[in-house]
Amino acid sequence: MDRRTFITTGLVAGAAISAGTFPRQSRASEPAESSKKGKFKLKYAPHFGMFRNHAGNDPIDQLKFMADEGFGAMEDNGMMERSKQSQEKIAGQMSRLGMTMGVFVGCAHWGQKTFVRRYKTVRKMLVKQMAAAVEVAKRVNAKWCTVLLDSYDDGLEWEYQTANAIDNLKACAEVCGPSGLVMVLEPLNPWRDHPGLFLTRIPQAYQICRAVGSPSCKILDDLYHQQVTEGNLIPNMDLAWDEIGYFQVGDNPGRNEPTTGEINYRNIFKHIYEKGYKGVLGMEHGNSKEGKEGERAVIKAYRQCDNF
C-alpha cells in the first residue's frame, strides 16, 4: 500500500462529507466497541478508513471512534483534494474532540522532475502549490504538510540536483514561513515501493534541511521506508534529530501495524518519548487482518508498543 493508495482510500472514506450527504443512521450510531483505556503516551494518528468496520463510512464517526480509543491525532494525505466544506467539517470535529491534525500531502508530482531542476516555470509552479497548501493548512489547523522532491534527473550531476532542490525549497519556505506551516520532506525507499525518486535517505534529507536553514523545512522520518532503505533507525534519528519534524510508522515487511514485522516499535516509541517529542506519529500502514478483528489488532498493537 503506497501513498497514492492511502490518498485514494482516504478520499473515498470522505465522500459523504464532500457530497454534503450523510446516512440518516450510520453504523456508528450503534454502540461501538471501545477499549476506554485513555490516551496514549504519544500522538499516534490513524487515517480515514482504518477503522471503518467499527465506525462506518462517515469520516465524522470515524474521528469519534479514534478519539474514543485514545488516539489524539489524525492524518489525511488527501486533504488538499477535499472540498472546502469537507475540510471545515473535519477540522471542526477534530477541534471538538481535542485531536491534532497530522500531515497532508502538500506537494507531490509522481514521475516528474521538479525540485531537482532550475527552471523559473518549475519554481513558480512549486511556490504556487505551496501557497495553496498554506490556505488548506489554515482551514484545517494543520502544522505540517508532506513534500516529496519527486524524481531525479539522470542527465544532471547529483550535486547540481541537490543545489537546485535547496534553492527551490528556500523559495517554498518563504511562502510557508509567515503562516507557520512546516514542509516535511519525506525520503521514500527505492527498493520496494518508489524507485527513481531523488530523496531516499535520512542523511540526505538532513543535509538538505541544514542547507535550506528554515524552520519551515524539516524531515518526515517514515520508519517503514527507512527500515527498507537503510535501517539503523535510532542512530539516524539521533543524528538528524534537530531537523526531524514528523514521524510515520509501519512495520516491515508488509507495511502493516507494529508487531507484525521486524521493527521493535516499543523500543523506538520509548526512545522518541524520552527525547521529548511532542508531535504526531502518522499510522501510514495497512491492517494485517481484515474486518473488525484486524482493526482491534491495530489498536492492540499500539497499546502494546505504547506500554513502556
- The whole-chain average pLDDT of the chain stands at 92
pLDDT digits (tens, 9 = 90+) for 248-289: 999 999 999 999 999 999 999 999 999 999 999 999 999 999
**What phi and psi values does residue 70 have, to the nearest 5 degrees?**
100, 0
For residue 172, being part of any structural domain is answered with: yes
pLDDT at 222: 98
Angle at 266 between CA 62 and CA 6, to 5 degrees: 35
User: Is this prediction's pTM over 0.85?
Assistant: yes
22 within some domain: no
pLDDT score at 304? 98
Q: CA–CA distance from 183 to each of 175, 242, 263 (Å)?
A: 10, 15, 27
The residue assigned the cell 534519528 is 237
**284 tagged catalytic:** yes
Q: Annotate 145-209 with DSSP letters as a single string.
A: EEE---B--TTS-HHHHHHHHHHHHHHHHHHHGGGT-EEEE----TTTT-TTBS---HHHHHHHH
* Catalytic pick among 69, 75, 81, 186: 186
Residue at 151 is within a domain:
yes
On whether residue 29 sits in a domain, the answer given is: no
Q: How many domains does the chain have?
A: 1
The bridge status of strand 73-74 relative to strand 100-101 is parallel
Determine the average pLDDT of the residues in 200-214.
98
Within a domain: 276: no
Asked whether residue 10 carries a pLDDT value surpassing 70, the answer given is: no
Q: What pLDDT score does 34 carry?
A: 40
Query: What confidence score (pLDDT) does residue 23 get?
Result: 37
- Residue 152 belongs to domain with CATH number: 3.20.20.150
C-alpha–C-alpha distance, residues 78 and 38, integer Å = 28
Query: pLDDT tens, 23-50?
Result: 333 344 344 444 456 999 999 999 999 9
Q: Does the pLDDT value for residue 63 go beyond 50?
A: yes
The share of the chain scoring above pLDDT 70, in percent, equals 88
Question: Does some domain include residue 302?
Answer: no
**CA quadruple 68, 40, 6, 261: dihedral positive or negative?**
negative
Domain-located, residue 184: yes
Mean pLDDT, residues 217-221: 98
pLDDT confidence tier of residue 11, bands split at 50, 70 and 90: low
User: What pLDDT is recorded for position 167?
Assistant: 98
Q: What is residue 2's predicted lDDT score, i.e. its pLDDT?
A: 57
Catalytic-residue membership of 186: yes
What domain range is 190 assigned to? 105-248
- Amino acid, single-letter form, for residue 64: K
Q: Is 91 a domain residue?
A: no
Residue 19: pLDDT band (50, 70, 90) is very low
Locate 82 and state its grid cell: 477535499
Given pLDDT bands bounded at 50, 70 and 90, which one contains residue 1? low
pLDDT for the residue numbered 121:
98
Categorize the per-residue pLDDT at 3 as very low, low, confident or very high, splitting at 50, 70 and 90: low
pLDDT single digits (tens) 99-134: 999 999 999 999 999 999 999 999 999 999 999 999
Give the pLDDT of residue 37. Answer: 67
